[in-house]
Structure 1
Amino acid sequence: MQIISTNIGKPTPINWNGQQTTTGIFKYPVNTSLLLEGESVAGDTISDRKVHGGIFKACYLFSADHYSYWKEKYPELDWNWGMFGENLTIEGLDESKIRIGNVYKIGNALVQVTQPREPCFKLGIRFETQEILKQFIDHGFPGTYVRVLEVGEVKTGDTLELVKESESTLTVQQFYTLLFSKTKDIDLLKLAVVNEALPASKRERLKRYL
């Protein structure tokens, strides 16, 4: 896996349900390295820290491999890396194989895979239609957030080197499916509620299904 683009967003004013707010989802490639800090990427915009940023959502990674699929669905859009609001566009990232809890060295930062991205209305604003939300969920390749274990800089061309594979077999894609499925897979639930790489609040909510 390799970084092919580093992306940063500036505060962008938007109107949603008659109210003015801002978003950082309009991210675009930059020619500089990014500093991954404890709860965010330095210089990036996080408009609503209730749902973005923080220890378990410090940096968002999305796979370059899925861009062709979405370009075919939305050929009229002005495409560039960062379209999904990701800080790092990664070639070779496969959510069906990456385990939640995996630890990677990237640049001189150390990160841990925490949770998939759950789409909100701001992705719909970027794509100019809220229909993207269901399509994004159904496609099943949401990218992943990471926790920053060691602050450091990353740049285009850096590779993700697996330092420690999670003892849990729960993958990012499996957990993503679990979140949105009406009928919860009990075996996956059992893996999720004890996986400490996931936020405690998420694990507590899932316990009610057991």
Structure 2
Amino acid sequence: MPHLISLNTAAAAPLQTEQGPVPSGIRKRARDGAITVGPLGLAGDEQADLSVHGGPAKAVYAYPSEHYAFWQTVRAQARAAGWDEALPPGSLGENLTIAGLLEKQAWVGDRLRFPDCELIVSEPRFPCFKFNAVMGFKQAAKLMVQSGWCGFYLSVLRPGSLAAGQDFELLPGPREVGIAELFRARMAGKG
């Protein structure tokens, strides 16, 4: 059964990028205990650029933990981190670090039913220059495009609360548009 490994939030703060410091909420850190989930996301989480992050359709961002070993390896190869430096949950900017549900298994309209909350898959995450900055090397966004390991945004169907360690049920939606296919279509030629 799919599983919620970690709940991650961040306040918006300056992030040093090649374009200078910019406000960002990408540096998420794991939080203990239950967290309230409202129509615009997790309590205590902020997005700095609401033109591309946040809002009802992108209230919560989920990322599969299965891809973490890849990112740890490429960061070490790029000398952005040591080989033994583990990436903590939330390092890819996600609110939910999950296991058991990959992009190729998620479709727009699928529902994730937790014990006290229900979320609906809305769209893939599309990387920007801030992802390069937080990962520590220039090719990070390009590698996300090439791998297709983008994670996905969720809207809040039923507000409530979430806690790390919870299992969730995947309830299929109409299954017309897959997250992996939508990501590839929108990112064609950008990898």
Q: Scaled by the length of structure 2, what TM-score is found?
A: 0.88
| 3-state SS of paired residue (2:175) | coil
Q: Which amino acid aligns with 1:172?
A: I
Q: CA deviation at 1:117?
A: 0.3
Partner of 1:38: 39
Q: How does 1:137-156 map to 2 (within 5 A)?
A: 137-156=145-164
Aligned pairs, number: 181
Partner of 1:121: 129
Asked whether the 8 Å contact 1:107–1:155 carries over to 2, the reply is: no
Following the alignment from structure 1 to structure 2, what is the Cα–Cα distance between the partners of residues 15 and 65?
28
Following the alignment from structure 2 to structure 1, what is the Cα–Cα distance between the partners of residues 174 and 22?
41
Following the alignment from structure 1 to structure 2, what is the Cα–Cα distance between the partners of residues 96 and 17?
32
Following the alignment from structure 1 to structure 2, what is the Cα–Cα distance between the partners of residues 138 and 35?
34
Asked whether the 8 Å contact 2:4–2:99 carries over to 1, the reply is: yes
Q: Which amino acid aligns with 2:99?
A: E
Partner of 2:187: 180
| 3-state SS of paired residue (2:186) | helix
Q: Does 1:84 align with 2:92?
A: yes
Q: CA deviation at 1:30?
A: 1.2
Selected match of 1:166 from 170, 173, 178: 173
Question: What residue ranges of structure 1 are gaps of 5+ in the alignment?
Answer: 183-210
Q: CA deviation at 1:19?
A: 4.7
Question: What residue ranges of structure 2 are gaps of 5+ in the alignment?
Answer: none
Q: Which amino acid aligns with 2:166?
A: D
The runs of 4+ residues in structure 1 deviating greater than 6 Å are none
Q: CA deviation at 1:94?
A: 1.2
Q: Scaled by the length of structure 1, what TM-score is found?
A: 0.81
The structure with more radius of gyration: 1
| 3-state SS of paired residue (1:82) | coil
Q: CA deviation at 1:174?
A: 0.9
Following the alignment from structure 1 to structure 2, what is the Cα–Cα distance between the partners of residues 20 and 81?
24
Q: CA deviation at 1:53?
A: 0.5
Following the alignment from structure 1 to structure 2, what is the Cα–Cα distance between the partners of residues 87 and 115?
15
Following the alignment from structure 1 to structure 2, what is the Cα–Cα distance between the partners of residues 180 and 31?
35
Asked whether the 8 Å contact 2:8–2:96 carries over to 1, the reply is: yes
Asked whether the 8 Å contact 2:9–2:29 carries over to 1, the reply is: yes
